Amino acid sequence: MNGSDIAAIFQGAIMTVTLSFIGILIGLPIGLGLALIRWANVPVVARIVTLYVSMLRATPLVTLLLLLFFALPNIGVPINPISAAILGLVMNTSAFNCEVWRSALMNFPKDQYEAAQSVGMRAGQRFRRIVLPQIVRVSLPGLVNEMSLLIKVTPVLAVVGVVDITRAAVRIGAQTYEPLPPFLVAIALYAPIVFALVSLQRWIERRQTAAEALA
């Protein structure tokens, strides 16, 4: 394995980090929106969201990507590999995020909400100032867990031609017939990122249990 091979893996890393970042960024608010729809029990739409979330959580990302990439053009919607990758990641992570947000919303103490209502706060204010800060706090561990899961699922983007860390490493191994060195480089790139997220999650959880113990 030579210098240009390592450069290829690093290019894959840029792709991995960029697509993960975009997926996480877009998936978080969409997950929140889906959870709100279900929490508010909007007629008809809430049921559709339930169905959507249930199916997406059951579908492997690999199959979803193949479906999006090959089948959408089949029904007239053109899509390129990067868009398919982002769309697949966002659909997948928003479904899981939805459940995390929803669990926080359902455990939200109603009395606070009603107190705000009786004081005369409008719905938007109620949400922004009372509900949102608290559910963000509660959802944080679950959301960070989902972020690390998203990064760990990015190698699958290779099926639509996106070259990420894993695909770059595999390609080099398939050329040199010495697969271990590129694999080790790949591990060295993934592990710090995921470990940082997992540690962040544990730190948040510890701080929250400590805060609750004091309260």
Residues in contact with other proteins by the rule CB under 8 A: 4, 7-8, 11, 44, 47-48, 50-51, 53-55, 57-64, 66-67, 69-71, 73-76, 78, 80-81, 99, 103, 148, 151-156, 158-161, 165-166, 169-171, 173-175, 177-180, 183, 186-187, 190-191, 194-195, 198
If the CB atoms of residues 18 and 117 are measured against other proteins, the closer one turns out to be 18
Dihedral (Cα; 184, 188, 193, 197), 10-degree rounding: 80
If the CB atoms of residues 58 and 119 are measured against other proteins, the closer one turns out to be 58
C-alpha 162/C-alpha 101 separation (Å) is 30
The DSSP string of 82-122 is HHHHHHHHHHHHHHHHHHHHHHHHHTS-HHHHHHHHHHT--
C-alpha 23/C-alpha 16 separation (Å) is 10
Q: How far is the CB of 215 from other proteins (least distance, A)?
A: 20
Q: How far is the CB of 49 from other proteins (least distance, A)?
A: 11
Tracing tokens 């459940």 back to the chain, one arrives at: 99
Phi, psi of 163 (to 5 degrees): -95, 105
Q: How far is the CB of 133 from other proteins (least distance, A)?
A: 22
Return the CA Rg of the chain: 21
The DSSP string of 136-165 is HHHHHHHHHHHHHHHHHHGGGGGGGT---H
If the CB atoms of residues 174 and 211 are measured against other proteins, the closer one turns out to be 174
If the CB atoms of residues 34 and 116 are measured against other proteins, the closer one turns out to be 34
If the CB atoms of residues 83 and 134 are measured against other proteins, the closer one turns out to be 83
